[in-house]
Amino acid sequence: MSVQIVYYSRHGSTRDIAHSIAKKMDVETTSDIKELKEISGDVLIVGSAIYGEVPHVEIMHLLKDSGKRLEDKQVALFVVCLAKENKKIAGEETGGPIYLRKMEKALGKVPMASKVFGGRLITNKMGKQERKRIEAFYRKHGMPLVDVDTVSEREVDEFVQEIKVKMAFRGLI
Ligand SMILES: Cc1cc2nc3c(=O)[nH]c(=O)nc-3n(C[C@H](O)[C@H](O)[C@H](O)COP(=O)(O)O)c2cc1C
């Protein structure tokens, strides 16, 4: 039973999480969505960094699956973000579980596993435009503008465990 991971990352934290999942699951194919050539796995793990409250457009396109490539596959989903918890801002629901729901909706079927991962933000690596956007995000969420690294191996372990249990249940390992 083969497993493939596809992710979108701009600054590397989602890429690091994808590779850590791959290592812990002995996954051979881990692809940046920008370099994705084919969908080969029986099980597909799809992850996206969150920018401007949404998963990346190419990840959403993959999940909407107009080419029916995911039809008979088991799919697990994850997002990487800083606003991990559900919250309401100006009457609008936002936060990790909402981002994940957007991916689930695009997929159109129940994922075998899903997870919200904490991300990483190093502001001195950013250009002026991006800094402005992240400042607006912090203001909106009432968070102090500080560099953070909340990427956690424990969260990776939990996700890997959940996928393995589901695969075992479905006779996939
Ligand atoms: C311009 C900008 C916008 C962001 N927007 C959000 C957001 O809407 N919600 C959120 O939870 N995190 C947001 N983040 C935080 C990123 O999701 C976080 O830094 C993540 O780890 C980035 O993943 P990457 O390193 O794989 O690119 C934003 C970060 C930047 C720089």
- How many angstroms is it from 141 CA to the middle of ligand 1? 12
Question: Which residue's C-alpha comes closest to atom 22 of ligand 1?
Answer: 49
Residue nearest atom 17 of ligand 1, based on CA coordinates? 81
Strand 92-94 versus strand 54-55 pairing type:
unpaired
Distance CA 133, CA 135 (A): 5
What global pTM score does this model have? 0.97
Q: How far is the CA of 49 from the centre of ligand 1 (A)?
A: 6
Q: Are 1 and 167 in contact (CB under 8 A)?
A: yes
Coil, strand or helix at 21? helix
Contact (CB, 8 A) for 79 and 118: no
Bridge partners of residue 75, in order along the sequence: 44
Considering the four listed CATH numbers 3.40.50.720, 3.90.1640.10, 3.40.50.10470, 3.40.50.360, the one that applies to the domain covering 3-120+148-169 is: 3.40.50.360
Closest Cα to atom 21 of ligand 1: 119
φ/ψ of 151, rounded to 5, equals -65, 130
pLDDT digit string, tens, across residues 85-113: 999 999 999 999 999 999 999 999 999 99
Give the model's pLDDT for residue 145: 87
Q: What is the pLDDT of residues 19-57, one digit of tens each?
A: 999 999 999 899 999 999 999 889 999 999 999 999 999
